[in-house]
Structure 1
Amino acid sequence: MKSDLTVPVIGIVHSPFHEKFGIPRQPNLVQVPAIIEFNAPYDDALAFEGLGEFSHLWLIWSFHQNKADSQSPKKFRTQIRPPRLGGNQKLGVFASRSMYRPSELGLSVVKLVKVIRQNGKAKLLIRGADLLNGTPIVDIKPYIAYSDAIPEAKSGFAQAAPALLEVEWNIVASQQAQALIAQKLFDSEQQGLINELLALDPRPAYQDDANRVYGMRYRQVNVLFKISAGQVQVEAIQRIDKKEI
């Protein structure tokens, strides 16, 4: 039996997440926009005929920024610590969606907003992706509601949606956001999406320091915040120099 499988990279995701920190731990929790740009010959518009009839897609993609040695067969991780369980309880890797898995492949269902066609080529505008900017796409498949959606399915330790935190912006952060909006470097939709991301508590499960200031990068801004007693306090929002993007 063949032990290795080679698959093509058919496209790349362009998303507002330039760092892993802050990315939702599951797809569709926040309707963040992203674009999938395809490599030739997979960008041929003919390959996308009929796709616009579907509202959602399955994306098969690669965890391309894992540490190089994490996928070595000699270092196969049989167990991981899910953040949902506080980062302390161990479970088998195949009972999780951990990034440290033998195939390095991820699976996400996203909303298809539009198939963009130009000069015989196509790219996709999507929402709800939990993907880092530059993530390689291996394949896409249409989501079929009658077979893919199973209302009575059991979801183990993740049966219920995560609890949400309250998010507040202090005066300084609010003023900075308004200044960026006035300069057309930021907008109210982005601010709303940032609120939704922060409400999911992006911190590592093992960190609970009420005095620690965290930074979450989203597109061209860095959001500084603290979390205490179930509430997120946004301390500041800073523009990132274009050279860093």
Structure 2
Amino acid sequence: MPEPCQQIGIIHSPFKQKFGIPRQAGLIAEASGFVELLPPYNQPEALTGLEEFSHVWLLWQANTINRDGWKPTVRPPRLGGNQRVGVFASRSIFRPNAIGQSLVSLGDIVTTQQRCGFNVSGLDILDGTPLIDIKPYLPWADALDDAVGGFAHDKPESQLKVRVAQEAVAQLELLRERDPQMMRLIERVIEQDPRPAFHQSDRQYGISIGEYDVTFRCIELIAHITSVAQMDEKG
């Protein structure tokens, strides 16, 4: 029996809950975060040469998943949430070892006495997720022209148009002035339609992104943002 993987770091992400996380890495460039190495792996020498690469693979473990409850089949959102495929024919995190992999864009590398790690963008990972490995992306090895992607061969398109409900106009204008990057991230997350594929309705949904709680309601293919509030201002 192989030894269990060691946690080498922690992934800091704007996604505070599973609902709203992009279904694959790279879909939302604005989803940025920081990969922090933990002792004894937080040695600057371990990152020497990484700055020469544009992208990295992050291998992580979904520590919120009950691994005793895995099933041999899953329902991928790309198939409408009703059709089942084998768990090993999917990228679902509901698998025996709950190991995920994400290809992200590499930003600045930080090596100080307080912190050792690097900035990334294009995340699809829950905040606080344990990191178990890092590997540089190699274009000649990781991108194959003749590869076939099964039921998920093509990149998914944005599903919804985002509008602001009248009651939230003032809130959204303030956020756009205060933090335009966060405003764009919120819009991009909702554009991807985070609602369950098998249970879409016009009910109101809530997501937590960064320091903000956001609610929206969909009417056909238009998502109306109904409120946005900073968490520490909700009282």
In which range does the TM-score fall when normalised by the shorter chain? over 0.9
Between the aligned partners of 2:171 and 2:70, the Cα distance in structure 1 is: 46
Between the aligned partners of 1:46 and 1:120, the Cα distance in structure 2 is: 15
Tell me the residue number matched to 1:35: 34
Q: CA deviation at 1:88?
A: 0.7
Structure 2 gaps of 5+ residues are none
Q: Count residues with an aligned counterpart.
A: 233
Q: CA deviation at 1:228?
A: 2.2
Say if 1:114 and 1:147 are closer, same or farther in 2 by CA, change over 3 A. Answer: same
| Alignment partner of 1:235 is 2:233 | no
Between the aligned partners of 2:161 and 2:197, the Cα distance in structure 1 is: 18
Q: CA deviation at 1:6?
A: 0.8
- Give 1:109's match in structure 2, choosing from 86, 89, 103: 103
Tell me the residue number matched to 1:146: 140
Between the aligned partners of 2:71 and 2:120, the Cα distance in structure 1 is: 32
Deviation digits for residues 150-186 of structure 1, max 9, x if unmatched?
132111111122231211112332310223456x4xx
Look up the equivalent residue of 2:136 and give its one-letter code. P
Deviation digits for residues 177-218 of structure 1, max 9, x if unmatched?
223456x4xx111111111111110011122212x0000111
SS of match in other structure, 2:132: strand
Between the aligned partners of 1:108 and 1:17, the Cα distance in structure 2 is: 15
4+ runs of 1 displaced by more than 4 Å?
none
Say if 1:122 and 1:130 are closer, same or farther in 2 by CA, change over 3 A. Answer: same
Look up the equivalent residue of 2:15 and give its one-letter code. F
| Alignment partner of 1:208 is 2:200 | yes
Look up the equivalent residue of 2:167 and give its one-letter code. V
Look up the equivalent residue of 1:206 and give its one-letter code. F
SS of match in other structure, 2:63: coil
SS of match in other structure, 2:65: coil
- Give 2:4's match in structure 1, choosing from 3, 6, 12: 6
Say if 1:181 and 1:198 are closer, same or farther in 2 by CA, change over 3 A. Answer: closer
Equivalent pair of 2:207/2:215 in contact (CA under 8 Å): yes
Between the aligned partners of 1:239 and 1:121, the Cα distance in structure 2 is: 27
Between the aligned partners of 2:195 and 2:129, the Cα distance in structure 1 is: 22
Equivalent pair of 2:57/2:103 in contact (CA under 8 Å): yes
Deviation digits for residues 80-103 of structure 1, max 9, x if unmatched?
111111111010000001111111
Equivalent pair of 1:224/1:234 in contact (CA under 8 Å): yes
SS of match in other structure, 2:105: strand
Between the aligned partners of 1:237 and 1:156, the Cα distance in structure 2 is: 38
Look up the equivalent residue of 1:142 and give its one-letter code. P
Tell me the residue number matched to 1:167: 162
Tell me the residue number matched to 2:191: 199
- Give 1:177's match in structure 2, choosing from 162, 172, 183: 172
Between the aligned partners of 1:243 and 1:115, the Cα distance in structure 2 is: 35
Q: CA deviation at 1:131?
A: 0.6
Q: CA deviation at 1:139?
A: 0.3
Within-5 A mapping of 1:45-64: 45-64=44-63
**TM-score (norm. length: structure 1):** 0.90
SS of match in other structure, 2:19: coil
